[in-house]
Amino acid sequence: MSATLALRPDALCQHCGAPARGAAFCCTGCEAAHEAIAGMGLGDYYTRRVLDPSARVLRPTSDGLADPERFVEILQDGLCRLRLGLDGLQCGACVWLIESVLSREPGLDLGRVNMTTRRITLQWRGAPTLAHRFVRRIEALGYRLLPAAALAATDDEAGRTLVRAMAVAGFAAVNVMLMSIATWAGISQHMGPATRALMHWWSALLALPAIVYSIQPFARSAARALSHGRTNMDVPITLGVLLTAAISLIETIKGREHAYFDSAITLLFFLLIGRVLDHRARGAARATALQLLALRADNVTLIEPAGTRRVSSEQIPAGALLLVGMGERVGADGVVESGQGQLDASLVTGESAAQIATPGVAVYAGTLNLGDALRVRVTATGEATLLAESVRLIEAAETRRGRYVVLADRVARFYTPVVHIAALSTFLVWFFLLHTSLERAVLVAVSVLLITCPCALVLAIPAVQVIATSALQRVGTLLKSATALERLAVIDAVMFDKTGTLTEPALESGDYTAEDLQFAASMASGSNHPLARALAAACPQVPPLTDLREIKGAGLEARRARLGSRAFCGVTLPIPATRAELILSRSDHPPVRFEFTETLRPGANAMIAALRARKMRLYIASGDQSGPVAKIAAELGITEYRACQRPADKLAWIEQLRAAGRTILMVGDGLNDGPCLAAANVSASPVHAADISQTLADLVFQGESLAPVAQFLFVARLSCRVMRQNLALALCYNLFFVPIAVMGLITPWLAAIAMSSSSLLVIANSFRVQKWS
């Protein structure tokens, strides 16, 4: 791409979209930002971005962050971290632009933008004063960095602006409608021309200022779209409302019998109701993320040899011992070492029932201690906790779009020019062919413009997706990909991993020494495999080994020792593998066998029964021995299963089933499940899964229960059914009303009511997903 971008002297600024009074840019700051972006070869930003009609204008500001080093956190090993609020984010293109610029900064190890919470995290090694250079680099692009607390004060400014506009329009609509009712009644009672004119002028006095104020969100969006050579649904809305108000004013000045101020302001009021609802619905993911962030404990009690001390949750070292009193939130992920009580984990895991906390039980940051004091050994802190991962997954859910959304947007994009052509053709036919008056021709054309507004069409799909995503989040399922809803709706087969997904393993007592257990636990603590986690939980006080290597689908290797399957350890034992096991093989030591009992996860039988009732084909693919796999398959009534499966074997089976016409959902949690999760039509992982599994999965469900698997399949099928209904409602509405409007049988007032009613009908139908979910 060229280092410079072609500039057009449009009416709006080429960088921020604000009025530029005929120039290319509204100010020198925007011009500098534009040149900086083009000079770095990142001009794609202007084609990627989607300007939010309700967002604040993106414009460089002079009131930048004066002393960013004051907010720098000094971590271990000379690592510096800076976390600030980011003002001016409008869409995913902003994230792409900022992260692209930061990736070119020398010395910066990490530069990540969270679109959901509008936060930016920078990490580097060196002097804290380097923060100045990084911050100025971002501010040069036109964004404003400020403390997170200051950002919170302006977090919902767009929403408040819409609510204010809706309130003004609502107040004016009610009062103008009262005068209109009096005028309509006066027509039958032979109201005099002077009285009717007075009512019209009072209506104009109330409606026109309200229209000027309330139409701004739509007018700004329409102006930005037109300045970039495209149209959107706000263009016909703005034209329709302004033309109706202008015609009404002309009719009032001429002393005519009819004026349509009530139509214009009522239409605007209904549209703003829909826009406010849409804004609230689209903010559900951000609200959930901020709610999760609010669960973080600000300060925790650290247990040290010299006693206890209070530290910030950001300063908790790995492996530390925390004291969590009654009524306090756990400050990091960990394992209970001592104490017994109950934990409220509903907002973290989605389970309403209190969790029993006993030694060996895993606990998560953000959970609330309802019982006696607990001592918790930390296993993950900061950005590595379940809480932080949940926020990142919600961010992914907010920024991805589904196939149906793209389809609806495309239809609306091509539909809007058709609307303009239809309205123009209607005007020409009525004025030139039917020889009606100019006012009559314009009124009919405006009615067509209003009746064909694609609001319902554009709301048809996003409303369902946002409501479905919010419904799943409330039960602990995080939807990472919006397309997963459509793909889930056509699933006809489900494949499960066994260990850790269908079952929960627990270490049994056996013929091994305490030293064997400690060494094996020190190796196992470096893995996220379910058997390794169960082994590490049996001896939580042992520190993990540092020179550990995990071989996918086989086991762990460290210090001339191996922990894994018999084949991986090169061990032949006379005892048959009837249960899940891990073998510890060390030089100069006899092999040690750790045996595990496996119990089905809560809700497994009910989930399988629900899937079988929906005629799903069920499979189990496990790397375990045939005995344990056959036992679990028999308990669940699954007849198609395979044992001793390596990652390549699982992948080959999935590809074989897909070639046979199956549409597969893969549910797995291990490192060896990564290829299968990527190859399946849809993939899901529990929240305790390995990082690669969570990265590849389309859905991540929280808690210990498997009930969410059946739940999100039901929600997906219901959502897609409602999506199709919404599209049908929107298209049938237009097919029915457009011919009537073209014939001049619908006034602008009736057109406004009909168009707004169709949008409300689509939104109301979309909430069926929430009701039945």
The span from the CA of 184 to the CA of 259, in Å, is 11
Torsion of CA 222, 224, 227, 228, to 10 degrees: -110
Coil vs helix vs strand at 232 = coil
**Residue 399 DSSP code:** H
Taking the C-alpha atoms of residue 334 and residue 107, their distance in angstroms, rounded to an integer, is: 33
Q: Of 52, 497, 624, 673, which one is the catalytic site residue?
A: 497
- Say if CB 430 and CB 744 are below 8 A apart: yes
**Nearest alpha-carbon partner for 581 in 626, 648, 620:** 626
Structure-block tokens of residue 736: 């029915």
Structure tokens at 150: 């200051």
Q: Output the CA–CA distances (angstroms, integers) from residue 115 to 181, 286, 530, in the order listed.
A: 48, 9, 33
Q: How far apart are CA 288 and CA 648, in angstroms?
A: 38
**Residue 73 contacts residue 80 (beta carbons within 8 Å):** yes
161 vs 166: CA distance, rounded Å: 9
- Known catalytic residue at 649: no
Query: Among candidates 194, 198, 196, which has minimal Cα distance to 184?
Result: 196
**Dihedral Cα 230, 236, 239, 242, nearest 10 deg:** -140
CA distance 113 to 392: 10
Residues with Cβ within 8 Å of 769's Cβ and at least 6 positions away in sequence, in order, are 464, 467, 468, 471, 715, 718, 719, 722
CA atoms within 13 A on the CB side of 305: 0
DSSP states of 302-335: EEETTEEEEEEGGGPPTT-EEEE-TTPBP-SEEE
Structure tokens at 95: 């994230």
Contact (CB, 8 A) for 35 and 45: no
Could you give the residue numbers annotated as active site?
497
